Every structure is written in structure tokens, then in C-alpha cells.
Amino acid sequence: MEDVLQAIGVIGFILLVIAGLLAGWIASLVAGGRHRGAYLAIGVLGALVTPFIIAILGGAVLAAGGLLAIIAMALVGAAVVLVIGKLILD
């Protein structure tokens, strides 16, 4: 997990937030613009939490892949969390 924190850094953290906001914004557009704030928050949460969950589950390869791999996994995680959020919000 420490490797993931080192690989992310401050710039990576900002990029994860931006990726989550982007995923949340797209999800709110798909949902018709309803609950935009909730989708943005859920997207950021999913993007920030996913790399750490992968690291806890033994994804040291994620840290070895660098920041691009971490952001890609965060986008996937944000999408999954947004689908769950869509089921809850609608």
C-alpha cells in the first residue's frame, strides 16, 4: 500500500479527483442531468478509493505500472461505483 501512496503523490491525487469528477459528470449527463452533485461526489469517491482497494488486495503491480495504470484503474472503479450509485439514486 505504501508503494501506491508513493506512486500517486500530490499530482496523482489531483488527477484522481479530476478523473472522478469527469466520470461523475459523464454519468450525470447519461442520467439526464439529475443528481449531478451526487454523481460528482460518487465519481470522486470511487476514483480515490479504488487504487487503495486494489493495493490492499495485493495489486502491487498497480504501483509498478505507474501513475497511468493507477488513473486507469481509478476510472474503472469510478464507473463501477457510479453504476451502483445510479441504481440507488433512481
pLDDT at 69 > cutoff 60:
yes
Whether 77 contacts 49, CB under 8 Å: yes
Whether 43 contacts 67, CB under 8 Å: no
Whether 44 contacts 17, CB under 8 Å: yes
Residue 57 lies in a domain: yes
Per-residue confidence (pLDDT) for residue 72, from 0 to 100: 79
Per-residue confidence (pLDDT) for residue 87, from 0 to 100: 80
Residue 10 lies in a domain: yes
**What's the number of domains the chain is made of?**
1
Of residues 2 and 34, which shows the higher confidence score? 34
pLDDT at 1 > cutoff 60:
no
Whether 69 contacts 62, CB under 8 Å: yes
Residue 90 lies in a domain: no
Q: In this predicted model, what pLDDT tens digit does every residue of 6-59 receive, in sequence order?
A: 666 777 888 888 988 988 888 888 877 778 888 889 889 888 888 778 777 776
Model confidence at 61, pLDDT cuts 50, 70, 90, reads low
